[in-house]
Structure 1
């Protein structure tokens, strides 16, 4: 349901339906158009009243607002792909700032999520044709960019892998561009979006992070375990290898099983010692 307004700005513009995007565009347009319109006067609940008073004093400009807005705001349907996803918002904001190279929005005010990159596009002083071409191009580039996410799929199932990535990168890659800890898969994607590593360096780093993860898991598996060195006869080693190969387990696991069974049953060692004594005539 549309939100209706009957305040001074509605009367000045002859429009009763409220549209936050329109208000944002008008605010920054006035800031850009006339330095006497105080950009430091942050928008608040009186934002519409401030714009109304300005336009009442400049009626010639008020008459031009609807037409100028039609010339600069591309249809919302072409912006439907822009969601509030944090990664998309950060990527799109950076791309728009780099492409448009304009600094008209010096203050973000209360703009959050998708509102900020859309405002960047709206207030860019170009005609709607150029803006439409740009946003279509950015949509395709975003889809192509996301297609490369498969290279990070190893991290997706466990945020601990992402945290380890941050520890490793902080220690070995001398992070300067991303001081916020990487705690989630989305954090990791945003980091690599900003890092601008070459594919070769990225592959190298990911490989080293995977190796560090394997080493960490191995060390964790050694918890409550101790290492012992035994001297075994060649005959015993051959038997041990045969059993290990038969059940496709390691030597260490074979010995563990045999010791556990002997501790539970107490059969084989006693029988072996008894037979030895008999053979020795004991």
Structure 2
């Protein structure tokens, strides 16, 4: 077919010769879903493709009128798969975009995302958009809308530069922060290593663009501020409470001194100690 030419060795293609068509992995997966053969034969999205090829071939060969079944198969697949031209703006390794797309697909069509391939969001996206039983025109419109929205609304480099893809501690913190505040994308996340976790974090933040610009900016500002506060606390520079046993008279004098200097008691003590310490060093 029009999608690729890697399927020449599949058994199903022997039935398609007269139509001058060849099925690849994508067409076989689509056909399996159209005829609901996964449920019938107990296979899944990640079962062997050769096994699925055999199942599909046997299924068509056992139809009462094989040629009619082949024609129906071709027409059904052609009416389900959008051409590669509509997908060429999606890079296979752009995990941030793919995670975002999978969640848009799930949200818009109320679809449970089915994982396809090991750590392969691109195959997973193709498998799920191909599996939705809507017209090609609607799928193309969905992709066009996503393309337009993504290019306009994804977070800029300036907005995400504070996140370090090499900082495992920060990534773990950011992921937990998103979960705590209900900002994680629910249906599909990709977090098997730091790189994929970083991409999932960015996709979650990109998803904020579906709210108001003001709320997105406020959420990002608060998240950055919280991270800065954590770094400061962890650096050991943050002040820790320290209690000194003072007589009642000394406490009263400290409070009076604080009022006279218009300072809190801790600042007064710090100033006195610093002054005495510097004088001692000069001796």
Task: Mark yes or no: TM-score above 0.5.
Answer: yes
In structure 1, what is the equivalent of residue 47 of structure 2? 43
Which of the two has higher C-alpha Rg?
1
Count of residues in Structure 1 that have an aligned counterpart in Structure 2: 226
Gaps of 5+ in 1: 221-226, 237-254, 260-268, 270-282
Instruction: State the 4+ residue runs in structure 1 displaced beyond 6 angstroms.
Output: 194-197
Q: Deviations over 1:231-252 (max 9, x none)?
A: 389xx9xxxxxxxxxxxxxxxx
Give the one of 66, 73, 81 matched to 1:73. Answer: 81
In structure 2, what is the equivalent of residue 159 of structure 1? 166
Q: Retained in 2: the 8 A contact 1:5–1:17?
A: yes
In structure 1, what is the equivalent of residue 252 of structure 2? none
SS in 2 for 1:68: helix
SS in 2 for 1:154: coil
In structure 2, what is the equivalent of residue 231 of structure 1? 276
Cα distance 1:109–1:56, how it changes in 2: closer, same or farther (>3 A)? farther
Is 2:72 the counterpart of 1:64?
Answer: yes
SS in 1 for 2:41: coil
In structure 2, what is the equivalent of residue 265 of structure 1? none
Is 2:100 the counterpart of 1:96?
Answer: no
Give the one of 222, 242, 251 matched to 1:204. Answer: 222
Q: Deviations over 1:153-209 (max 9, x none)?
A: 1224x633x623643774897367589699454353145356889422332122121
Q: Retained in 2: the 8 A contact 1:30–1:37?
A: no
1:138-217 alignment, distance < 5 Å = 138-156=146-164, 159-160=166-167, 163-164=169-170, 166-167=172-173, 170=176, 174=180, 177=184, 183=194, 185-193=198-206, 198-199=215-216, 200-217=218-235
In structure 1, what is the equivalent of residue 26 of structure 2? 21
Structure 1 residue 216, shift from structure 2 partner: 3.9
- CA separation in 2, counterparts of 1:67 and 1:122? 14
Cα distance 1:2–1:189, how it changes in 2: closer, same or farther (>3 A)? same
Moved more, 56-65 or 164-173: 164-173
Cα distance 1:2–1:171, how it changes in 2: closer, same or farther (>3 A)? closer
Normalising by structure 1, we get a TM-score of: 0.63
Is 2:135 the counterpart of 1:132?
Answer: no
Cα distance 1:212–1:47, how it changes in 2: closer, same or farther (>3 A)? same
In structure 1, what is the equivalent of residue 243 of structure 2? none
SS in 1 for 2:161: helix
- CA separation in 2, counterparts of 1:182 and 1:150? 24
Cα distance 1:54–1:62, how it changes in 2: closer, same or farther (>3 A)? same
Q: Deviations over 1:123-173 (max 9, x none)?
A: 2222221111111101122223324453221224x633x623643774897
Normalising by structure 2, we get a TM-score of: 0.63
Cα distance 1:77–1:208, how it changes in 2: closer, same or farther (>3 A)? same
Q: Retained in 1: the 8 A contact 2:5–2:22?
A: yes
Q: Retained in 1: the 8 A contact 2:163–2:170?
A: no
Q: Retained in 2: the 8 A contact 1:73–1:122?
A: yes
Structure 1 residue 65, shift from structure 2 partner: 1.8
- CA separation in 2, counterparts of 1:194 and 1:57? 47
